Amino acid sequence: MLQCDVSERPAGEPVVERRYVVAPHLMLEAHDDAHAIVVNTATGARAKVSIAAFRMLSRFDVPRTVSDVFGRSDDGRAAARVRALVDHGLLWDAEAKRPADKPRRRPAPFRFCNAPSYAASGARADVVVLGVPYDLGGSDNGREGPLAVRQKSLDYTYMVDFDARQPAGWFDAGAGARILEGVRIADADDIPWIHGEPQRAVFERVVVTLDELLPDHGVPLVLAGDASVSHAVAAWCAGRHPLSVVHFAAEGTAGEREGESVTVHDVARAMIRIPNVRSVATAGLREVSGYAPPPGVSEVTATQLRSGDHGDLVAALSLAERVLLSIDMDVVDVSTPPSGKGMSLREVREAIQAIGDRHRIVGVVVSGLDPSTPMGPVAAIVACHLALQALHVATLRRAG
């Protein structure tokens, strides 16, 4: 941890013409009577500064010169302290042009299916896996979900054919065929986030990182803590092409949204407001929400999916050519014996196949897995199956 006490810096030549401002993404983490700890939420870097230095930082909440803050009678000591804060990256010269920060990713303990890391083969990857263990959009504990999915996915080892030098894929016993053969997968680790930083900052980091990682043809697999993260992925996808979202969830659209944060209850309402998102379909509801969905949002219950032909139901939905597939694991009934209230693994697979037969899946989000629940380990197995099958449908359509 960086130790910084600007009072010990020798006096220097006053700088009164430049304007300075607190560095973006800076957040107060802790403080006492003597020191404060500030965090750069974009990089995770921490700095321990004196309370006097923190108070000085606070006075530059908007671009100001040293003379604006301390007056023109200052003998140079305040300017030297400001320069020390600039040197440590806590204050920015508001007049200087700076390159955009590239968000850092936090290494994950496991890679999805033990596929190569993005650093090793990401530039040529057809699928890029990214973990976003954010779960403050709901009340469930989903932040360990991405880790649980990655760990369980090690049962499905990523292998490359020695002679052909292409990924071997996997044999899908349910479909009786090989899937993802020749599809290159790379794991790009996790997006870091810190308690207390705005949700908007986390989601912006997701969008910027996906833009940095994905080639034009690449398909992201985002392992998310909760379904609110689908909003960030939808914003990234819609920034490239007109988009529809099919969101598998047990709950329908809530009432009118309150506040700026996106929650798992109103994520459909939030996504339909994203520019270039043409429609959002929430599928697999256990019961009708009771709220009228806003224009552009449709709802299909699990009973409707179970009783009708998946192809006919998908054809009846107003979907753009490109579709983001969002799967909240609460939609799947993993209980033993099945309760009959949620969708089975087979039913979700069939619905995904029906969507892929008619539309191009350009991204997959798997969220809402709480590994601490009694059925958490089973849900992790199901999540792996659905992720691999969705990727297969997405990449098969792209190849065709």
Q: For residue 227, is it within any domain? A: yes
Structure tokens at 35: 């020191």
DSSP class of residue 251? S
pLDDT for 73? 65
**Sequence-distant (≥ 6) Cβ neighbours of residue 100 within 8 angstroms:** none
166 and 253 both lie in a single domain:
yes
75 and 174 both lie in a single domain:
no
The tens digit of pLDDT for each residue in 278-306 reads 999 999 998 876 777 889 999 988 888 88
Spatial separation of the C-alpha atoms in residues 228 and 207, rounded to whole Å: 14
Query: What are the φ/ψ torsions at residue 51 (nearest 5 degrees)?
Result: -60, -35
> What do you get for the CA distance between the two ends of the chain, in Å?
52
At residue 15 the predicted structure's pLDDT band, cuts being 50, 70 and 90, is very low
Cis omega (within 30 of 0) for bond into 337: yes
- Beta carbons of 279 and 319 less than 8 angstroms apart: yes
Taking the CA atoms of the chain, what radius of gyration do you get in angstroms? 24
Number of structural domains in the chain: 2
Residue 376: is its pLDDT beyond 60?
A: yes
Q: For residue 294, is it within any domain? A: yes
322 and 230 both lie in a single domain:
yes
Which residue segment(s) compose the domain that 273 sits in?
112-399
pLDDT for 82? 86
At residue 210 the predicted structure's pLDDT band, cuts being 50, 70 and 90, is very high
**Mean pLDDT for the stretch of residues 378-389:** 96
66 and 144 both lie in a single domain:
no
**Mean pLDDT for the stretch of residues 354-371:** 95
Q: For residue 353, is it within any domain? A: yes
Burial 261-280 (b: 16+ CB within 10 A, else e): bbbbbbbbbbbbebeebbbb
Q: For residue 6, is it within any domain? A: yes
At residue 40 the predicted structure's pLDDT band, cuts being 50, 70 and 90, is confident
Q: Which residue has the tokens 């309370």?
A: 51
Q: For residue 358, is it within any domain? A: yes
- Beta carbons of 341 and 303 less than 8 angstroms apart: no
161 and 59 both lie in a single domain:
no
87 and 124 both lie in a single domain:
no
Spatial separation of the C-alpha atoms in residues 387 and 378, rounded to whole Å: 14
The tens digit of pLDDT for each residue in 102-125 reads 557 888 999 999 999 998 876 688
Q: For residue 308, is it within any domain? A: yes
361 and 256 both lie in a single domain:
yes
User: Which residues on adjacent β-strands are paired with residue 186?
Assistant: 128
Q: What is the largest CA-CA distance in the chain?
A: 82
Q: Which residue has the tokens 């054919």?
A: 161
Residue 100: is its pLDDT beyond 60?
A: no
Out of 36, 58, 93, a domain closes at: 93
189 and 286 both lie in a single domain:
yes
Out of 30, 60, 93, a domain closes at: 93
Instruction: Give how far the C-alpha of residue 213 lies from the chain's centroid of Cα atoms, to the nearest Å.
Output: 13
158 and 242 both lie in a single domain:
yes
313 and 241 both lie in a single domain:
yes
Residue 271: is its pLDDT beyond 90?
A: yes
Q: For residue 261, is it within any domain? A: yes
Instruction: Give, for 212, the enclosing helix (H) or strand (E).
Output: helix 199-213
Q: Which residue has the tokens 């500064």?
A: 49
Q: What is the CATH number of the domain that holds 18?
A: 3.90.930
